[in-house]
Amino acid sequence: MAQPELGDEILRLDNLNVHFPVKMPFVQRLLQREKAVVHAVDGVSFSIHSGEILGLVGESGCGKTTVGKASVRLLNPTSGRIFFAGQDISKIGGRSLRTLRRKMQIIFQDPHASLNPAMAIGRAIGHPLWIHGSEFGIQNLSSTVFRERVQQRVLSTMREVGLTPEEQLYDKFPGDLSGGQKQRAVIARALILEPDLLVVDEGVSMLDMSIRAKVLELMLDLKRQHGLTYLFITHDLATAKFICDRLAIMYLGRIVEIGPARDIYADPKHPYTKALLQVVPIPDPDKRKEKVLPRGEVPDAVHPPAGCRFHPRCPAVLPSCGWEGRDFVDFLDEHLSDPKRAGDDELVLGPIENWRTNGLVASLEAKPLNIEEAVERVKAVLAEAPIAMAQAIESVSTHKRTVIIHFRPPNELRQTQVGDRIVECLLYQ
């Protein structure tokens, strides 16, 4: 099957950043010099062309929803630009934004939460028409003619999305519908405005397996009939495989690989994509977090790892991928917590709280007289560390009574064209 002709560009993100302030107690906020922010989306660029389904895939918390919400301007971008059908919409607001919303719709994960529990289904589906009534050239919204027309449109849209028997469901409330019916209602509500772009955020992940396939089929049908374009957000690769033309793989606020879905499934390039596709098992992500948090360090998205963000978990990691002070301390922590391996290292190198990290540097103020031994122990520990990490170390030195470990700065990471896709990984640079 030949690659279909690309239509016009519908959506383009250009170096999109969305940062959230970290919620913290007032006093702490006063004491902190620089404001801590969650780098939910950190330099994301891609475009979607008319008639295409782009899948945005990644683990929980990597920023998919944030990209989706920013794309339809439910969130304001911190920086970067969003183009919709060629128009820069990153700064518009008020009426011009509201008018534009007709053309771009979003469907959320939880159909139950997406429907106002106090609004009957028929009215909910028709409400967008009331909201945009004046743009359809209708002056008097309460006129019987308009009401009749809205009702007819709602009923035909309900039929189209398979929300039948539509006459009976029209006056039901969300609480009376099943999950699948509710998601169909949400789709109908989005569709009734005849949008160009539909952002579907985990649109089927809360549905039962049997219903899931049907709703996906429906989305594909609607795409064909209405020439819809989708940004399809999911953490489930099976779903993505079923529906997407292209895939964008996201990790910690960045896109690490993007390209035609079939090719990515056949031959994933980025180590993270490979891991996702289970060619290689992913190292447990929670281990690192659990260790880091109690020591008072900040979660990953606030201070993302240096260099390639995937390096602490990457099975193919290189010495130049971004090793830094806290990677060593994390490894040491793990080492010390295993008494068999650690022996009496704890006496010399512990407790782990005594280590300080600052970017590429990790340092320990050694106990008196132990400085030489501390250096030896560090070197012994490093012999067991991942080779890439050990090789990334420039020097283990001493200054007065402090042991200092210096890492080499990482290589600059660039997005690289590899065949028909773009990959962000040093292996391909």
Ligand X SMILES: Nc1ncnc2c1ncn2[C@@H]1O[C@H](COP(=O)(O)OP(=O)(O)OP(=O)(O)O)[C@@H](O)[C@H]1O
Enumerate binding residues for ligand SF4 (CB under 6 A): 270-272, 308, 310-311, 314, 316-318, 321, 425-427
Please tell me the distance from the alpha carbon of residue 76 to that of residue 253, in angstroms, as a whole number: 16
Contact call for residue 20 and ligand X (CB under 6 A): yes
Contact call for residue 65 and ligand X (CB under 6 A): yes
- 3-state class of 134 per DSSP? helix
Q: Which partner in Mg ion, ligand SF4, other proteins, none is near 317 (CB below 5 to 8 A by kind)?
A: ligand SF4
Q: Which partner in Mg ion, other proteins, ligand SF4, none is near 310 (CB below 5 to 8 A by kind)?
A: ligand SF4
- Greatest Cα pair distance, the chain, in angstroms, is 92
What is the DSSP secondary-structure string of 6-75? Answer: P--EEEEEEEEEEEEEPP--HHHHHH-SSPPEEEEEEEEEEEEETT-EEEEE--TTSSHHHHHHHHTTSS
Please tell me the distance from the alpha carbon of residue 112 to that of residue 176, in angstroms, as a whole number: 11
Q: Which residue among 66, 105, 157, 320 contacts other proteins (CB under 8 A)? A: 105
C-alpha closest to that of 97 among 62, 61, 49, 132: 132
Contact call for residue 99 and other proteins (CB under 8 A): yes
Q: Which residue among 60, 140, 142, 144 contacts ligand X (CB under 6 A)? A: 60
Q: What's the length of the chain?
A: 429
Contact call for residue 282 and other proteins (CB under 8 A): no
Q: Which partner in ligand X, Mg ion, ligand SF4, none is near 427 (CB below 5 to 8 A by kind)?
A: ligand SF4
User: Nearer to ligand SF4 by C-beta: 342 or 427?
Assistant: 427
Q: Within 46-85, which residues bind other proteins (CB under 8 A)?
A: 60, 69, 72, 74
135: amino acid identity, one letter: E
User: Nearer to other proteins by C-beta: 135 or 290?
Assistant: 135
> Candidates 115-123, 150-158, 320-328, 380-388 — which segment interacts with other proteins by CB under 8 A?
115-123
CB 325 within 8 A of CB 357: yes
The contacts found for 218-224 with CB under 8 angstroms, 24 or more apart, are: 218/161, 218/162, 218/184, 218/187, 219/187, 219/243, 222/160, 222/161, 222/187, 222/191, 223/51, 223/53
Contact call for residue 321 and ligand X (CB under 6 A): no
Q: How far is the CB of 173 from other proteins (least distance, A)?
A: 5
Which distant-in-sequence residues (6+ apart) come within 8 Å of 4 by Cβ? 51, 245
Query: How do beta strands 9-21 and 53-57 pair?
Result: unpaired
Q: Which partner in Mg ion, other proteins, ligand X, none is near 66 (CB below 5 to 8 A by kind)?
A: ligand X
Over the window 215 to 254, marking each residue x when it contacts other proteins by CB under 8 A and - when it does not, the resulting string is: --------------------x-------------------
Contact call for residue 157 and ligand X (CB under 6 A): no
Q: Which helix (H) or strand (E) segment is 199 a member of?
A: strand 197-201
The two structure tokens encoding residue 410: 């990482």
Which distant-in-sequence residues (6+ apart) come within 8 Å of 263 by Cβ? 419, 420, 421
Query: Which residues here bind other proteins, judged by CB under 8 A?
Result: 60, 69, 72, 74, 98-99, 101-102, 105-106, 108, 110, 112-120, 127-128, 131-132, 173, 175-176, 179, 186, 189, 193, 202, 205-206, 208, 235
Query: Which residues here bind ligand X, judged by CB under 6 A?
Result: 20, 38, 40, 58, 60-66, 235, 301
